[in-house]
Structure 1
Amino acid sequence: MSDVAFSRASLSEAELPPYPGIGLEAITLVVDASAAQAALADLLAARVIGFDTESKPTFLKGEASTGPHLVQLATDRHTWLFPIVRGRSVAELKAVLESPDLLKVGFGLGNDHSALKSRLDIEVRNVLDLGEILRGPAHRGTVGAKVAVAHFFGQKLQKSKKIGTSNWSAARLNERQVLYAANDAHVALQVYYAWQASRRAALPA
């Protein structure tokens, strides 16, 4: 991990208190024009936001993904979930993701760029993949959100595999899906802040 050293295995297996995450009261599903405008104003007023996407999983060999089916964007106090529905405008989502002045941070964003470009014609700009930047030169692969949360906060990020591989293209997402998706974006922003603070603390006085 750049600027800090840690053992991924020990952090993943440690008995830690749960990461509290963001609650339902601070999450909005963007399903109409009013919510889209509110999301646009809130997100563009920020300097940096958390970013993630979810896609309905594929199970058959050779089956092509039709995702992303949900895009999650988070400020400090609120997370906005954009269901991708055919025929619905993505103008506000495009304005946020293509803004060169707004930094978007997240984990494992490698496939998101191409999927958003090919399906929605959105060219994501100014993105930082925390999984890449935190791994450091001595590690292979990328650092995940669970390990980063354990390292920076001493807490355990609960991530259900069942929810993560659920149907994200469903017309109505359930409460567990909403919380899972929102926290993926929101926790990335919190890790980014913690990482920046650790870098500043390491600078000579």
Structure 2
Amino acid sequence: MIFQSTITNDQTAELPSARFDGHIIVVDREEQIEAAYSDLASHRIIGFDTETRPSFKAGVTNKVSLLQLSTPTRCYLIRLCRTKLHSLLLKILSSPDIIKIGADVAGDIRSLHVLRHFKERGFVDLQQIASSWGIEEKSLRKMSAIVLGKRVSKAQRLSNWEASTLTPQQQMYAATDAWVCIEIYNKLMSVEPLQPIPTYLSEQEREQAQRQCKEQKERTKPRRRHRGRKRENREKQE
């Protein structure tokens, strides 16, 4: 399979919407974080994103308001404007064993460092690796359109992420942004890249990601070939 390198805004607009249909959990109290951590830490790959209340004044940047961490079926919307960047969250962000998939990861991490310093490990940036499959687009919206054939809505991007209550539209937008990163990553990893995959992972993290990619490929191999190989080995032994 070969992905197209670019896609126009008009072509993207014609595609069906990508929507997270799992369970969205809004975390706005510290006592909720332990349960979120237990779930997230049990997954090897999760989606990652942040949201910040927009500033319409030149030179003024607000602190990050929301951290989104998603599994394939549950997305946690952690309201950092209400809770601190908890040590359990730092364990996830610093773990090389939990691969966090995002887009413009460096920008999100810089925003989180303003709240609390940590050593980031185990991150994969879709903007950095998409070119290995010949994809030139960098926006999450267009990468989703090319890889998944689905359009990610950006209607809520400039909404107030520090509002007293997040609207259903905000929740769906935020959850979809994190979840769709997993979907794009898994789809890419099921296709042989055209060139080596660039990454700023450490050697240990890079080996972990490569193992996961290999396991993904093994799962997609036809069982008939696998059985044939076993039969071939038995015949050699005889």
Which TM class, normalised by the smaller chain length? Answer: 0.7 to 0.9
Matched, 1:78 2:74: yes
Greater mean alpha carbon deviation, residues 168-177 or residues 117-126: 117-126
Q: Tell me the residue number matched to 2:7.
A: 9
Partner Cα separation in structure 1 for residue 36 and residue 157 of structure 2: 24
Aligned partner of 1:29 in structure 2 is 26
Match of 2:56 in 1: 59
Q: 2:160 aligns with which of 167, 171, 193?
A: 167
Query: 2: distance between equivalents of 1:195 and 1:5?
Result: 9
CA contact (8 A) 1:54 1:67 kept: no
More helix by share: 2
- Note the alpha carbon deviations across 1:66-89, whole angstroms, 9 max, x for none: 321100000111000110136646
CA shift in 2, pair 1:139/1:194, >3 Å:
closer
Separation in 2, partners of 1:79, 1:178:
10
Task: Give the corresponding residue for 2:104.
Answer: 108
CA distance in 2 between counterparts of 1:16 and 1:151 reads: 10
In structure 1, C-alpha distance between the alignment counterparts of 2:30 and 2:106, rounded to whole Å: 30
Q: TM-score, normalised by structure 1?
A: 0.83
Q: How many residues align?
A: 195
Counterpart AA for 2:109: H
| Rounded Cα–Cα distance in structure 2 between residues aligned with 1:52 and 1:103 | 13
CA distance in 2, matches of 1:11, 1:150: 10
Query: Does the 8 Å contact 2:7/2:146 carry over to 1?
Result: no
What is the root-mean-square deviation of aligned Cα atoms in Å?
2.6
TM-score (norm 2): 0.72
Q: Distance in 1 between matches of 2:58 and 2:141?
A: 29
SS at structure 2 position matched to 1:122? coil
For structure 2, the residue ranges without an aligned partner over 5 or more in a row are 193-216, 219-224, 226-238
Q: After superposition, where does 1:1-205 map in structure 2 within 5 Å?
A: 4-10=2-8, 13-14=11-12, 15-19=14-18, 21-23=19-21, 26-63=23-60, 65-85=61-81, 88=84, 90-136=86-132, 143-160=138-155, 163-199=156-192, 200=217
- Alignment-mate amino acid for residue 169 of structure 1: E
* TM-aligned CA deviation for residue 138 of structure 1: 7.0
Label 1:10 to 1:59 Cα distance change in 2 as closer, same or farther (>3 A).
Answer: closer
Larger relative CO (CA 8 A, sep 6+): 1 or 2? Answer: 1
Aligned-pair identity in percent equals: 28
Rg larger in structure: 2
Cα distance change on mapping 1:34 and 1:118 into 2, 3 Å: closer
